């Protein structure tokens, strides 16, 4: 029997025992949202590819306008107009200017643009400039945004809409991403029936299967449903082996404590190397982790609330590790609505609701000893109480993890 580990030790163990898979597949840009980038993306070209104006105004040579003012405008010859979406073939000689729209190309020889607000068109082929330009003023130069070889996005990034925009800008329409992890999900227990079945005496519906599948999908993995297995060690082992055969990771739930029928630990130990049996957290203590090669074999507690928190706090970071990324969760600060007890020497997780009132965020812990649905349904997030903490008074500032 392995000793119980602290949550920090478990996260370190995960990093030590599992390595990024380093796999890659190419998907079209429109399918790349929320996928994990498999490689750094360097630009292959200049963006923009030409010098552009950032204002509506006149492109000109700054030195032709030095010293001008409202009272003594610089008078320049207007030689023409740059059209949007066309190159600037115009020649702009000394003491001349050309009209340029926002984003228009700057003609050769010009070194700045003066906003239209600081000019006066005299209508006779000349323009008065009322405010001096300066070299580079109101310009974006070729390659200012990116240039060939500059890294635009790094491997491990989960692609957000703004990243899709950046990829479009450099013409990267085939995007190398990590193939979705296939994760086998098995629920175990003689008492379980599928959610679409009516439980008989002593039976309950399988909560963990659908819940874990949803959690995995939200993370970006592909859950593979291996259904419900009764508490029969041989059958469970066959299912777990089939799952390990075709998936990148296997999650069993139920049967992870030390009961006679609790075979998950033995099975995981026989299929590979047992790394962990027990995390010092509440809920969630009876958790098992093992591996066959670089493939995680995970045994979650059967109790759905425990299974949920262990999966969220440890399984998702583990899967992220396989994809070469690190999960980040930014808690919000909230005021605890009522006191919370904790004095058992284990890290405690409490589901809570968030409420905003008078511009203040308040965290209302969901208290329910055994009420399963009330703890899962409608929780906005959870708060963590350190193992050394003896409880928190109402009004205390807490951090709520909510995404
Ligand atoms: P176990 O870890 O198998 O000892 O189960 C602990 C508790 O969780 C028992 O009350 C089980 O009925 C319940 N349980 C186990 N697996 C599931 C599941 N997939 N869905 C709902 N409840 C479960
Ligand atoms: Mg069981």
Q: Which of 395, 388, 210, 394 is nearest to 311 (CA)?
A: 210
Residue 348 Cβ contacting ligand 1 at under 6 Å: no
To test ligand 1's pocket by mutation, which of 187, 205, 254, 277 has the most ligand atoms within 8 angstroms of CB? 254
Q: What is the pLDDT along the chain (403 residues), one digit of tens a residue?
A: 688 999 999 999 999 999 999 999 999 999 999 999 999 999 999 999 999 999 999 999 999 999 999 999 999 999 999 999 998 889 999 999 999 999 999 999 999 999 999 999 999 999 999 999 999 999 999 999 999 999 999 999 999 999 999 999 999 999 999 999 999 999 999 999 999 999 999 999 999 999 999 999 999 999 999 999 999 999 999 999 999 999 999 999 998 766 656 789 999 999 999 999 999 999 988 999 999 999 999 999 999 999 999 999 999 999 999 999 999 989 999 999 999 998 778 999 999 999 999 999 999 999 876 567 878 888 999 999 999 998 999 999 999 998 7
Beta-strand pair 360-365/391-392? unpaired
State how far the Cα of 107 lies from the Cα of 99, in Å rounded to an integer: 10
Residue 185 Cβ contacting ligand 1 at under 6 Å: no
Residue 107 Cβ contacting ligand 1 at under 6 Å: no
Report cis status (omega within 30 of 0) of the bond before 309: no
Please report where in the chains the tokens 């643009």 appear, as a residue.
Answer: 113
Report how far ligand 1's centroid is from the alpha carbon of 108 (Å): 74
Report how far ligand 1's centroid is from the alpha carbon of 142 (Å): 62
User: Which own/partner contact pairs does 267-270 have at CB distance under 8 Å and 24+ positions apart?
Assistant: 267/233, 267/236, 267/237, 267/240, 268/240, 268/297, 268/299, 270/237
Strand-pairing partners, residue 185, are 225, 251
| Burial of residue 125 (number of CB atoms within 10 Å: 0-12, 13-18, 19+) | exposed
Q: Which of 72, 74, 117 is nearest to 97 (CA)?
A: 74
State how far the Cα of 192 lies from the Cα of 200, in Å rounded to an integer: 10
Residue 187 Cβ contacting ligand 1 at under 6 Å: yes
Beta-strand pair 332-336/397-401? antiparallel
Whole-structure pTM value: 0.91
| Burial of residue 60 (number of CB atoms within 10 Å: 0-12, 13-18, 19+) | buried
């Amino acid at each position: 029997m392995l000793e119980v580990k602290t949550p920090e030790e478990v996260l370190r163990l995960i990093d030590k025992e599992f390595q990024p898979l380093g796999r890659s597949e190419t998907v079209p840009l429109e399918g790349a949202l929320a996928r994990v980038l498999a490689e750094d993306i360097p630009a292959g070209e200049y963006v923009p590819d030409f010098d552009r104006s950032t204002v509506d105004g006149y492109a000109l040579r700054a030195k032709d306008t030095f010293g001008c003012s409202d009272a003594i405008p610089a008078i320049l010859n207007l030689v023409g107009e740059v059209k949007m979406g066309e190159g600037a073939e115009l020649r702009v000689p000394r003491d001349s200017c050309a009209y340029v729209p926002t984003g228009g190309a700057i003609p050769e020889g010009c070194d700045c643009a003066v906003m239209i607000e600081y000019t006066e068109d005299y209508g006779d082929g000349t323009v008065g400039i009322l405010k001096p330009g300066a070299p580079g003023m109101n310009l974006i130069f070729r390659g200012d945004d990116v240039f060939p070889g500059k890294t635009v996005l790094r491997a491990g990034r989960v692609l957000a809409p703004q990243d899709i925009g950046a990829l479009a800008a450099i013409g990267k329409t085939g995007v190398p991403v990590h193939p979705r992890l296939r994760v086998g999900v098995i629920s175990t227990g003689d008492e379980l029936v599928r959610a679409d079945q009516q439980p008989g005496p002593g039976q309950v519906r399988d909560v963990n299967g659908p819940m874990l599948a949803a959690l995995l999908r939200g993370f970006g993995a592909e859950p593979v449903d291996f259904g419900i297995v009764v508490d029969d060690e041989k059958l469970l082992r066959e299912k777990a082996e089939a799952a390990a055969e075709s998936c990148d990771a296997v999650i069993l739930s139920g049967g992870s404590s030390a009961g006679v029928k609790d075979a998950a630990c033995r099975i995981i130990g026989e299929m590979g190397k047992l790394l962990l049996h027990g995390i010092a957290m509440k809920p969630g203590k009876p958790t098992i982790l093992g591996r066959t090669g670089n493939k995680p074999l995970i045994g979650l507690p059967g109790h759905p609330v425990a299974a949920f928190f262990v999966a969220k706090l440890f399984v998702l970071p583990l899967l992220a590790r396989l994809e070469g990324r690190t999960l980040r969760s930014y808690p919000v600060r909230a005021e605890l609505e009522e006191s919370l007890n904790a004095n058992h020497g284990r890290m405690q997780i409490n589901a809570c609701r968030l409420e905003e009132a008078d511009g203040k965020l308040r965290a209302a812990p969901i208290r329910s000893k055994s009420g399963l649905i009330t703890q899962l349904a409608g929780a906005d997030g959870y708060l963590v109480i350190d193992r050394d903490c003896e409880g928190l008074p109402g009004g205390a500032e807490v951090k709520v993890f909510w995404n």
